[in-house]
Amino acid sequence: MNLLKSLIAILILTLAALGFASSAGLSYLLTVIIPYAAFAFFLIGFVYRVVQWAKSPVPFRIPSTCGQEKSLSWIKANPLDNPSNVLGVIGRMALEIFLFRSLFRNTKAEILQQRLVYGGAKWLWFFGLLFHWSLLVVVLRHLRFFIEPISGWINSLSVLDGFFEIGVPTLYLSDAALLAGLSFLLLRRICAPRIRYISLFTDYFSLLLILGVVVTGILMRHFFPADLLQVKNVALGWVIFSAVDPQGVGTLFYMHLCFVFTLMVFFPMSKLMHMGGVFLSPTRNLANDNRRKRHINPWNAPVKVHTYEEYEDEFREKMKLAGLPLDKE
């Protein structure tokens, strides 16, 4: 049902894109007004959520530790899985962000012949990594539309990405990888019964929306070419705040944009915010020095305490009469 709802949402967006393409007024709205509105929403929403997380009190060290803590010199510590200082934390975060290390350590549990058996589960890690890295490459390559003259490194990235020179225009490896990664992530949700059970509308919608962007992009590149001169005019127009409404650039471009702007608006409200959130996760970004340093909650409200000395002073006579032991006679 959730999959069906997200498919319907994507269909509505496709119809909306066709509407934008069909009328001059609506086309102006999509190519001149909405880009700024969507970008502003994305930026403000993203910053707002990160600030909210940054403001959350984290009075104690709560890193999730997966290795030996640093302690006595003759006990071998694990500086990455149980970092004791900032350097270790940077190493741990880098491995997490660039290589998805915690996902690599993921295991699956199964009951085989009435016994609980643990096994490796590397496919999610592999396709997840493939998806994220190729998405990054695609987005970086898109900078060619927004910059003039195009920086050398963007051209080099494009050449490297089309290294095998398959087809005309060249097939980008990142496009194939992105499609493979997305297909795996989507099929995993649809085909694995337990994952399907916990999948929500937003889980399918995020994947289908990105798939919409990717498929329309690939169609534009390989099957129904868009007028790239006009595209560059539009994109540069956005950058220099003199946006133009293109003429006859092709319906697929409108679909591509419609999906992209929806993604921008949806992003800060969705779990896609893990892109910013991963940096603020206290179970990852804190060093484990709990035993060396005493961390006192700075938000502790002052508490009126009644010490044992005060207690004994108050009840000394009665305690003496009852024969109870006293610290002070």
Residue numbers at the binding site for ligand HEM (CB under 6 A):
138-139, 141-142, 145, 172, 175, 178, 213-214, 217-218, 220-221, 226, 228, 231, 235, 253, 256, 260, 263
26 vs 272, which CB is nearer to ligand HEM?
A: 272
* Residue number of the CB atom closest to ligand HEM: 217
Q: Which is nearer to ligand HEM, 189 or 256 (CB)?
A: 256
As a whole number of angstroms, the distance between CA 237 and CA 33 comes to 12
**Whole-angstrom Cα distance, residue 65 to residue 287?**
10
C-beta closer to ligand HEM: residue 4 or 43: 43
Contacts 24+ apart (CB under 8 A), 236-239: 236/145, 236/146, 236/148, 238/35, 238/36, 238/146, 239/146
Q: What's the closest the beta carbon of residue 195 comes to ligand HEM, in angstroms?
A: 24
Task: Provide, rounded to whole angstroms, the least separation between the CB of residue 4 and ligand HEM.
Answer: 24
Q: In degrees rounded to 5, what are phi and psi of residue 199?
A: -80, 135
Q: Sign of torsion, CA 42 45 49 55?
A: positive
Instruction: Read off the tokens for 257.
Output: 């944009």
Smaller CB distance to ligand HEM: residue 84 or 259? 259
Query: In the complex with ligand HEM, which residue's Cβ is closer, 231 or 286?
Result: 231
CB 42, min distance to ligand HEM, A: 10
Instruction: Report in angstroms how near the CB of residue 86 gets to ligand HEM at its nearest.
Output: 33
The CB-of-142 to ligand HEM minimum distance in angstroms stands at: 5
